[in-house]
């Protein structure tokens, strides 16, 4: 009797230990720690420079905090499911959180591609609607593709989910590339104007902005494509569940790491973003070395900028400022 009790206790401890070291639960906690580190580092960077300069930094800060809270709740839920594996409420809540986290990362990746706070001060409402809609469709379809492999469904529902996934995939990447092309084309026009004035465009802030947009877009496209391939392999039962969770965890942490590094606040904000009032003071001295024709040409060029664009006017050779302005000086 005592021997049987000891045996049962031993196997219970072994089973509980095996659940605790379940790779899936570990991946959720790794993701939580990763978001915590990113949030702390970005907070330190923000406090070091005393303020958040542009809308994009504020959105990134909110996204990091939101992802940390959601990942912490999700990790806690999966840890609790070790003891209560049949709790329907916890399982449903974990599904909802997974969908929300997918949609957040998709929305923010596309938001960067629009050039907000990098090229444009604001973006149209139709772009915001397109970002939210395509991200919702693609995020939900990714979840359904993962969920389908664990349940038995009819062939009709299977076909509908596949159609939703394909439409979401095509719509999301079409919008991603289209919005990125609009921002890059706006900067390319400005580089041509700089080149026509005899200034090397590769030394301008607009050139660095183009590189930032292209790098962010290419990283998003490559990582999302890799993620979709892994989800498809999981759906056809080539990869198991813990493998797809590992891929998703690494994908999310790598993407957010790239975003946080590229969009960090730097001392030389004039090379990237900024709307400092003291930048306009340096331009007052530049007018003394320009004749009336140059001044009229500059004013005529300023009238051609579309509302909302943060592109600077054509730089003057004698100007002491290379900052990017959200609006032309008065």
Which residues of the chain have a pLDDT value below 70? 1-22, 49-53, 149-151, 265-330
pLDDT value at residue 297: 54
Residue 15 included in any domain: no
Summarised one tens digit per residue, pLDDT across range 243-254 is 777 877 888 888
Q: How many domains does the chain have?
A: 1
26 falls within a domain: yes
Report yes or no on 275 lying in a domain. no
User: In CATH, what number is assigned to the domain containing residue 225?
Assistant: 1.20.1070.10
Q: Does the residue 305 lie in any domain? A: no
What is residue 295's predicted lDDT score, i.e. its pLDDT? 54
Q: pLDDT at position 233, please?
A: 80
HEC-encoded secondary structure of the chain = CHHHHHHHHHHHHHHHHHHHCCHHHHHHHHHHHHHHHHHHHHHHHHHHCCCCCCHHHHHHHHHHHHHHHHHHHHHHHHHHCCCCCCCHHHHHHHHHHHHHHHHHHHHHHHHHHCCECCCECCCCHHHHHHHHHHHHHHHHHHHHHHHHCCCCCCHHHHHHHHHHHHHHHHHHHHHHHHHHHHHHHHHHHHHHHHHHCCCCHHHCHHHHHHHHHHHHHHHHHHHHHHHHHHHHHHHCCCCCHHHHHHHHHHHHHHHHHHHHHHCCCCCCHHHCCCCCCHHHHCCHHHHHHCCHHHHHHHHHHHCCCCCCECCCCCCCCCCCCCCCCCCCCC
Query: Is residue 319 included in any domain, yes or no?
Result: no
What residue numbers bound the domain in which 219 lies?
22-267
190 in a domain, yes or no?
A: yes
| pLDDT at residue number 71 | 92
Q: Is residue 289 part of a domain?
A: no
- pTM for the model stands at 0.70
> What pLDDT is attached to residue 292?
56
Provide the pLDDT for residue 293: 55
Q: Which of 220, 212, 288 is nearest to 254 (CA)?
A: 220
Per-residue model confidence (pLDDT) at position 265: 65
**pLDDT at position 150:** 67
Rounded to whole angstroms, what are the CA distances from 159 to 3, 106, 153, 156, 162? 55, 24, 10, 5, 5
270 and 279 Cβ atoms separated by less than 8 Å = yes
Whether 317 maps to a domain, the answer reads: no
Q: What is the pLDDT of residues 291-314, one digit of tens each?
A: 555 555 555 444 444 444 444 444
Q: Write out the two tokens for 206.
A: 């607009």
């Amino acid at each position: 009797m005592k021997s049987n009790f000891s045996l049962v206790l031993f196997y219970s401890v072994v089973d509980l230990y095996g659940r605790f070291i379940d790779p899936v639960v570990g991946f959720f906690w790794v993701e939580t720690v990763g978001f915590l580190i990113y949030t702390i580092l970005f907070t330190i960077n923000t406090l070091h420079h005393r303020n958040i300069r542009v809308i994009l930094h504020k959105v990134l800060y909110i996204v990091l905090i939101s992802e940390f809270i959601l990942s912490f709740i999700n990790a806690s839920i999966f840890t609790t499911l070790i003891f209560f594996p049949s709790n329907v409420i916890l399982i449903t809540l974990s599904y909802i959180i997974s969908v929300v986290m997918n949609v957040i990362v998709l929305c923010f990746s596309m938001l960067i591609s629009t050039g907000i706070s990098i090229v444009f001060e604001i973006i149209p409402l139709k772009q915001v609607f397109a970002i939210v809609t395509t991200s919702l469709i693609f995020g939900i379809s990714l979840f359904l593709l993962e969920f389908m492999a664990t349940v038995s469904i009819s062939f009709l529902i299977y076909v509908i989910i596949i159609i939703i996934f394909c439409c979401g995939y095509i719509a999301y990447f079409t919008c991603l590339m289209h919005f990125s092309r609009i921002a890059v084309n706006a900067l390319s026009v400005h580089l041509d104007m700089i080149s026509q004035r005899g200034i090397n465009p590769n030394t301008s802030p607009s050139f660095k902005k183009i590189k930032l947009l292209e790098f962010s877009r290419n990283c998003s496209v490559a990582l999302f494509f890799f993620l979709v391939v892994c989800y498809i392999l999981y759906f056809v039962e080539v990869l198991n569940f813990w493998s797809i969770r590992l891929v998703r965890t690494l994908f999310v942490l790598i993407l957010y790491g790239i975003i946080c590094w590229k969009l960090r606040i730097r001392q030389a904000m004039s090379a990237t973003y900024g709307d400092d009032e003291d930048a306009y003071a340096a331009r007052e001295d530049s007018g003394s070395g320009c004749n009336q024709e140059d001044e009229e040409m500059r004013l005529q060029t300023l009238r051609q900028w579309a509302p909302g664009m943060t592109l600077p006017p054509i730089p003057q050779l004698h100007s002491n400022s290379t900052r990017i302005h959200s609006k032309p000086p008065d």
